[in-house]
Structure 1
Amino acid sequence: MGGSISGINVEFEQDKKIVQKWFFGEEVDSLVTIKMHPHTKGTSLEIKQTNIPDEAFDNISEGWDEDYFGALNELFI
């Protein structure tokens, strides 16, 4: 897709849920829901993302693993 993703927060429930709308260009937006659950070792995350453009799917999947969770892992471990 060749560009950065921008977005806005549309819902926030402290310590429980974040909902964001991500924009791919001017016409496509994707809804990202991150739910946090108590876990014996801290917190577990449940992520759901809808309306991902086909041409962006591989890049988005890689971004979750490397950029998002990789950065969190480095921060907390």
Structure 2
Amino acid sequence: MKTFKKYYYFPASPEEVYLALTKAQSIQLWTGAEVEFTEEPGTEFSFWDGDISGRNLEFDYGKKIVQQWYFGEENEPSIVTIKLHADKKGTSLEFVQTNIPDQDYDDFTSGINEYYLGGLQDFFED
């Protein structure tokens, strides 16, 4: 199992980035796909027809999102922590995901960079 950690920058306030990550209508805009999402701890979510799915654990408005992302039948929960920090140019987003199965790591992290957070960056840069 591996951990992935990376920083991303967005030309928007932490509150705007937070809303883009937690409101189903906004998520649908930048993913271009059906979304099931409720900003409430304990609820399950799904992006891209279940390509990413999991459970919401914690929300701190404009600052932090904690989720468990599902990987098939893996025993260890894969926890995603997204922290938002105000930056001179907008927002610095810290993305940390624990317990990514070794065999999925390369494909999964390239998907995060290209589609998940890459799509979000494209949304704010357009």
TM over 0.5: yes
Q: 1:51 aligns with which of 66, 81, 99?
A: 99
- Which residue of structure 1 lines up, in the alignment, with residue 112 of structure 2? 64
- Which residue of structure 1 lines up, in the alignment, with residue 62 of structure 2? 15
- Which residue of structure 1 lines up, in the alignment, with residue 9 of structure 2? none
Query: What is the count of residue pairs matched by the alignment?
Result: 75
Tell me by how many angstroms 1:69 deviates: 2.1
- Which residue of structure 1 lines up, in the alignment, with residue 8 of structure 2? none
Identity of aligned residues (%): 56
Deviation per CA, 1:20-45, whole angstroms, max 9, x where unpaired?
00011133430000000000111110
**Which runs of no fewer than 5 residues in structure 2 stay unpaired?**
1-49
Q: Return closer, same or farther for 1:25/1:7 CA change in 2, 3 Å cut-off.
A: same
Q: Return closer, same or farther for 1:72/1:5 CA change in 2, 3 Å cut-off.
A: closer
Q: 1:40 aligns with which of 66, 77, 88?
A: 88
Deviation per CA, 1:32-70, whole angstroms, max 9, x where unpaired?
000000001111101111000011100111011101122
Q: Which has the larger share of helix?
A: 2
Q: List structure 1 runs of 4+ shifted beyond 2 angstroms.
A: 26-29
Root-mean-square deviation (Å): 1.5
- Which residue of structure 2 lines up, in the alignment, with residue 73 of structure 1? 121
What TM-score comes out, normalization by structure 2 length? 0.55
CA distance in 2, matches of 1:74, 1:27: 32
Q: Which has the larger share of strand?
A: 1
**Which runs of no fewer than 5 residues in structure 1 stay unpaired?**
none
